[in-house]
Chains A and B, each alone.
Chain A
Amino acid sequence: MEAFLADIEKRAYHMALLATSSHADALDLLQDSMIKLVTKYQDKPSNEWKPLFYRILQNRIRDWYRHQKVKNLLFFWKTDDDDDWPISSAEDVLGQTPEKDLGKQQQQAAALEHLQKLSPKQQQCFLLRSWEGLSVAETASIMTCSQGSVKTHYFRAVTKLRSLMEEGHDITF
């Protein structure tokens, strides 16, 4: 279990960070998900841990969104000043690479930026399908929606990413 958690924690943290845009909230969601997996599903076969873990994480993210909605309604006059985004910024990326790779690095930084602009479902669907390489059926099970919905979310995510990249950075795919 420890090896599994060590392997998955960075990607899961990234998913949570993209969803919440807050390092502290992302860590909380990650910790809750790990605790639930360890306490309730440790006895399950190890090949089931990954989809189970992502399902727990998705449920936590969904709960976080609902909580945020209520919080924003009740405390609409407050502004969030402590949003931190430790994911490498374009400057961090550009500062370390040779000039010939600059264009590609800029594109990658832009892609990350646009990924944040997707709706929560489109974003998470893209991460699970494309980045994690899960099947449509597995993604549908994790996101507790139909396979048709997964395909729709994924298609819309990719279309939106492409149009944002083409518009903002004069890139054609």
Chain B
Amino acid sequence: MSEMIAQEALPGLVDKWLAQGKRVAGPSVVKPGYCLYVELESSAQLALEGFVRPRNSIKEFVFPRHETVCRYHFSGHTVETEDCDPPQSEQVIVGARPCDAAALPILDHLFTWDYEDKFYTERRKATTVVTLACQTHDDECFCTSLDLGPAAEQGSDVLLLAMPGGYEVRCLTDKGKALFAGETRTAEQAAVVPPGPPVTVTPETVMTYLQASYDDPMWIDLALRCLGCGACAYTCPTCHCFDIVDEGTAAGGCRVKNWDCCQFAMFTQHASGHNPRPGQSQRQRQRIQHKFRIYPEKFGVMLCTGCGNCARNCPVGLGVLSTLKEAAGHGPVEVGS
């Protein structure tokens, strides 16, 4: 026995949420080969199958790539500031992948740690995540290595699982129940959870390596091909670094919070000119250290959900998984030594 919603009823429900004034986001094919999570104007834009996962992540709906946090005006010798409030309108993310949803409880630690970032927490409170369990995976997927999987429930308010004629609906939170109240019917069968990717790395081995091998020359070899762009970090569900910048004129302007990336040389460049991470090898090491040692040591969770977006989006095919395999000694060092 299970609760289910018919295949043809789901778009109607999405349109109903839109009609209620909710902001709704979900995967959409914006052009051939490019499936992205976008804000939907209608259910017709929603794509639920035919791809492994969108090329971006749902983080931008709780942590936008650009956000104004306050405004300032100069008048004479004084500065007036005007706080901006984070939007509190309800939003639904539908068709999220489990590896995206699982990133949210991971990010909660950072954004509520020594300072509560209300721009994140207010959005997070106003968000309901309707996740669709994965039917397929590719060679870059490694969620199962990180104790997640194709039907992982972490971070989801509702989990949908494809079954003949529609989707099994598992409401996991009160927010999820409210969203689907009266929209489901009881079905005789339950959905079958498809298998996930094989387990390829063990986080404990990676942690041991990272604690012991800070100066391994492997990083120099590995980072030779890294071009230093932000495609990995910006499409990662868990990367959360940002920069605070003032943008404006002599009369005033905005203080904005923009995504930033540890692979940029500018990321750690001091005003003096000194850069504590002058080379790409230090920057690559930092990215992996942060995800698999620093963050778990601080918050008890890894800063990765095994979605594989880093590798899929890297112009030179350098992802977390291939790096972890080398770090954990599971694979040969590919670059010349």
Whether both chains belong to one complex is answered with no
Interface residues of A, Cβ cutoff 8 Å to B: none
Interface residues of B, Cβ cutoff 8 Å to A: none
